[in-house]
Each structure stands twice: as C-alpha cells, then as structure tokens.
Amino acid sequence: MHRRGALFNSHTPRDSQIVKSPSRSGVFQAKTDKRLEAFAESISFDQRLYCQDIRGSIAHATMLASVGLITAEEFSQIEDTLREIESEIEAGKLPIQIELEDIHMHVEQALIDRLGDVGRKLHTARSRNDQVSTDVRLWIRDALDQVDELLQALQRAFVGRCDADFDVILPAYTHLQRAQPVLAPHYWLAYVEKFARDRDRLSDCRRRTNQSSLGVAAVAGTTLPIDRDQTATLLGFDSVTANSLDTSSDRDFMLETAFVLSVIATHLSSWAEEWILWSTVEYNFIKIPQAFCTGSSIMPQKVNPDTLELTRGKSARVMGNLQTLMLLVKNLPLAYNRDLQEDKPPLFDSFDTVIAMLELAAPIVAGSELQTDSISSRLEQGYLDATTLMEWMISKGMPQRRAHHLVGAIVGEAMERKVPLAKLPLEVMRVHAEEIDESVYECLGTANAVAAFVSYGSTAPDQVRAQIESWKERLN
C-alpha cells in the first residue's frame, strides 16, 4: 500500500515554522480576527492529506491541460513544482501558516509563491469543497487497504495456529458457563470468520468511497469544459459522483467507514476480553507473550495483559468517533457547511486506533501459548458431553424434550456422586432411561463428544480440518 510521510502520523507544526500570510482581499475589508484564525484552522490535523492533495491537484492540472484551460508548458511547471512542494512537506520543511487554514491552501499558496499567475490557474473549475472530498476519499481508500492487509495478517495468525493446536479440546461457553467441547482450531476459525465479514464490509465501503468528487466544484458544477471522467481515471476511481449538491454535502462514505471500523474494534475487544480471562490463574488457558505485557509498580509478581486491556479500552474511542460523526452531520442542510471540517479528527483517530490494535493483535495471537496441561486437567468438569448424551438418546428414537429432561436428571446424579458422565455406572443411568445401553459410553467424555459431531460448520474434526484447508487456500 502507498504509505508516505504523514499518512498516519502527522507532522506537528513548530513555532519556528509559523509565518504570516497576506491580508484578506476581495469582498473583505477587514482582517480576520486572530482568534478566529486559531479557531478555524485545520492544518494541525489535515496536513496528513498532503499526498492525496498533491496527487489530486496533478490529476486536475492534467485534465485542465487536456481540455485547453491551461497550456502544456503551464501544466509541466505546475506538476514539477507540486512535486517539489510534496518533497518539502515530506521533509517537514514547508512553513506552517495558521492563516492559510488547511493543507489545501498551503499547497496552493506555495505554488503561487513560486509560479505566480501560473500557480493561480490550478484552482480553475475546482472548489475546496470538491477538493477536500476527493482528498479524503483517496486517503480513506489507502487506509482501508491497510486495514484489510492487517486483518488478513491477523486471520493468518489464527489459521497458523490451527495445525499445532488441532488435538487440543477447549470448553466452549455460553453465559460464561461451560457448554460443549470444541477443538481449539474451531475457536480460532470463529475469529477468522468474524474478520472475514469485516473485510467484506471494508470492500463494500471502499466501493462506495471510490467515486470521484472532483469537478462538482462548490455546489452546482462549473460552466467550464472539464472532463471529470479523466480525473477519475487518473486517480483510480471507479466512477464519478452524479449530483453536485449531494456530493458537496455527502459524508456517507465516512460514516460507513467509521461504522466498519467500530465493528472491527468490537471484534477485537471481544477477543481481548476472552484472552484476558483465559490468561488469569482462575482459567489458566493461555499465556500471553511477555513482550506484550507489563508489570506492576508495587506487586513484583504481576504480568498484566495490558495490550489486551488497552485494546478493549480503545475500542470505546472508535465507537465514540462513529457517534461524533453521526451527530456532526445529522442537522446539516445541503450542501457544504463548515461543520464538515470537524469530520477528519474522529476519522483519523478511528483509523489510527484500529491500525494500532491490529498491528499488535497478530503477534499476540501467533506468540501466545495454550496451557494444555491446565486445560486438560479440568476438561471433564462442567459436563460438556451432556448435550451429546441427549442427542444420542434422540438418535435412539426418544423425543427431544424427554431426552433433555432425562439427561438433566442423569447429570444431577453425576453431580451428587462428583463424577463425570463417563464414570457414571450404566445401572444408574438406566434408572432414569431404560433405553440406555453399553454403547452410550461411546459418546461420553469430551473426546468422544467432539468426535460425535457431524453437521457442517460444527466442531467435527473432519469439518474443522476442511475449514482449515479452505482458509489456508483463501488466505494465500
């Protein structure tokens, strides 16, 4: 993925770089109040759009030259100078001018300072409204691709555990109570499926984002003979937006992006919570790599799963950012309103947060160790094979409700005797159901219970093996 400079880590303006800009002109007779300049600036956060802004400007200039609105020589000057400006921004050398408000005006003013009237021609048939929308769409498109790559890496980390963990049986829980036994790779593939849906949502979101806003200008379009399809092609967009009024105000693609990131954060938080529990002494199911844990300032024995806890905590910020964006746009009339300047901080923060979580999740998954001795020593606790016993009775012709009731009574006997079902004498079980015979023991015990599964999508060993191989192929 194309990732340069401040795409995900913006430069912080330095006081030594802040310079004065020329006074306002045109219809304005008074200078801007300095308090408004500080209140209205967005350069402190939107400068990370500089690559996209320059890329969009070069495409726009290319189109202007092709339709005769600027000459080939003027285009050459504009392109060369824009690339110089990009290099200066990349190196942190372009002075920050609060009065210029945003990255778009910084780039254009730098161009004008060097080329004069030739630089002033770049904004022909373009408004900051469509310029900003185009830049953000380009930025989101790149960022979505990065998140997709990281999700794929996390899927691979889970699939990469499956073969080594294939024979490990874990208790699956409902209501945080032991429910039925499952193979460990069945657990891992559950997360792979969740992240697959996340990737599908990313793909759908990218498709709706990947439309070019460039050329709708301020609100109504332009009277000049531009070619919107050309700029869309140059920038890798699938199509152009169809209505200038809608495009000027549209932030649906940002809301959808924030939602998709919130779902990803939810899945990561759920995984983190589970492994936090699993890493406790009480569970002792898994050991988190110490490189991703921290200690206590007072208790020397502590190895805390702080990365997982922060993943769980930071997910709240991502969800909060979605709420912020929803509230930001809910009362806005057509078309552009300055409120929309505030859409970028929550958007950037959601991407930054999710990317940081994903970058840590994959090595944690790959490096964690199942505590197999601890797991197996308590595996027969909780009567994980009770449902299998019920279904064995059903297979012998017993109605489900009667089988459910009888197995409940049999489990009660086993609990009173403090033995697992597989250790309960046959004659005790037959007191409750005469239909039970010696073959019942073939389905009792967690290993037998797992082996008894047959349905598609279940924890049946052949089903899990097929899913592992399928995912290996899909992730290749």
* Digit-coded pLDDT (tens) for 158-204: 999 999 999 999 999 999 999 999 999 999 999 999 999 999 999 99
Strands (E) located in 256-305: 286-287
Using the predicted structure, report yes or no on whether residue 11 has a pLDDT greater than 70: no
422 residue type, one letter: A
Please report which confidence band the pLDDT of residue 13 belongs to, taking 50, 70 and 90 as the band edges.
very low
Pairing of strands 286-287, 177-183: unpaired
How far apart are the C-alpha atoms of 473 and 241, rounded to whole Å? 37
Buried b (16+ CB within 10 A) or exposed e, 2-11: eeebbbbebb
Q: Is 54 exposed, middle or buried (0-12, 13-18, 19+ CB in 10 A)?
A: buried
Q: What is the crossing angle of helices 50-66 and 72-90, to 10°? A: 180
Question: What are 43-95's pLDDT values in tens digits?
Answer: 888 999 999 999 999 999 999 999 999 999 999 999 999 999 999 999 999 99
Residue type, 335: A
- Position 113 pLDDT exceeds 50: yes
Active site residue: 16, 175, 439, 455, which one? Answer: 175
Q: Which has the minimum average pLDDT: 30-39, 57-66, 118-127? A: 30-39
pLDDT of residue 24: 57
Q: Indicate whether 332 pLDDT > 80.
A: yes
How many percent of the chain have pLDDT more than 90? 87
> Per the confidence metrics, is the pTM higher than 0.95?
no
**pLDDT of the residue at 25:** 63
Residue 10 scores a pLDDT above 80: no
What would the pLDDT profile of 220-252 be if each residue is shown by its tens digit? 999 999 999 999 999 999 999 999 999 999 999
Return the pLDDT at 30: 78
Domains and CATH numbers, the chain: 5-124 (1.10.275.10), 129-377 (1.20.200.10), 386-474 (1.10.40.30)
pLDDT at 21 over 70: no
- What are the C-alpha distances in Å from 310 to residues 145, 290, 294, 301, 322? 24, 15, 12, 21, 19
Residue the block writes with tokens 């509230």: 327
Q: Which residues face 369 on adjacent strands?
A: 287
Long-range pairs for 253-257: beta carbons < 8 A, 24 or more residues apart: 253/137, 253/140, 253/205, 253/208, 253/209, 254/136, 254/140, 254/325, 254/343, 254/347, 255/322, 255/325, 255/326, 255/329, 256/205, 256/208, 256/209, 257/140, 257/144, 257/205, 257/209, 257/347, 257/350
Q: What does the mean pLDDT of the chain come to?
A: 93
Would you call 11 a catalytic residue per the annotation? Answer: no
Q: How many residues does the chain have?
A: 476
Tokens 């200690």 correspond to 295
Indicate if the pLDDT at residue 141 is higher than 80: yes
84: closest CA among 111, 49, 116?
111
- Taking residue 293's Cβ as centre, other Cβ atoms within 10 Å add up to 18
CA dist list (Å): 47 to 9, 11, 360:
10, 8, 26
Give the pLDDT of residue 9.
40
**Confidence band for 27, pLDDT divided at 50, 70 and 90:** confident
Taking each helix axis from N to C end, the angle separating 128-162 and 344-367, rounded to the nearest 10 degrees, works out to 10
Between 296 and 112, residue with greater pLDDT: 112
Q: Nearest-CA neighbor of 214 among 246, 236, 241, 238?
A: 241
Cα separation, 175 vs 194, whole angstroms: 20
175 is catalytic: yes
Q: What is the mean pLDDT of residues 96-103?
A: 91
- Report the chain's terminal Cα–Cα distance, integer Å: 18
Report the C-alpha gap between 141 and 351 in whole angstroms.
Answer: 12
Q: Which residues of 66-99 are buried (b: 16+ CB within 10 A; e: fewer)?
A: beebbeeebbebbbebbeebbeebeeeebebbbb
Q: What is the CA radius of gyration of the chain?
A: 30
User: In this structure, are residues 373 and 411 in contact, taking their beta carbons and an 8 Å threshold?
Assistant: no
| 245-290 residue pLDDT tens | 999 999 999 999 999 999 999 999 999 999 999 999 999 999 999 9
Is pLDDT of 38 > 90?
A: no
- State the catalytic residue, choosing from 239, 296, 395, 470: 296
Mean pLDDT of the region 385-398: 96
Which of 11-15, 408-412, 426-430 is the least confident region? 11-15
- Average pLDDT score over residue span 20-31: 64
Residue range 304-310: average pLDDT?
95
The pLDDT value given to residue 31: 84
Task: Tell the burial category of 103 from Cβ atoms under 10 Å away from its Cβ (0-12, 13-18, 19+).
Answer: buried
**Which residue matches tokens 């936090």?**
276
Which is more confident, 449 or 21? 449
